[in-house]
Amino acid sequence: MTHDTETCPIPEGDPLFRSYHDDEWGVPASADRAFFEKICLEGFQSGLSWRTILQRRDEFRRAFDEFDMHRIAMYDHAEIDRLMQDKGIIRNRRKILSVINNARRALELQEQSVSLSGFCWSFEPSPESRPARVTRAWLRQNPASGESAALAGALKLRGWTYVGPVTMYALMQALGIVNDHVDGCHCRLRIETLRQSFSRPAVSGSAHPRGDKR
Which residues are known to be catalytic? 20, 42, 50
C-alpha 117/C-alpha 122 separation (Å) is 9
**10 CB neighbour count, 10 Å cutoff:** 18
Torsion of CA 136, 145, 61, 101, to 10 degrees: 160
Contact 54, 17 (CB under 8 A): yes
> Positive or negative CA dihedral for 16, 21, 22, 23?
positive
Closest CA to 179 of 167, 165, 189: 189
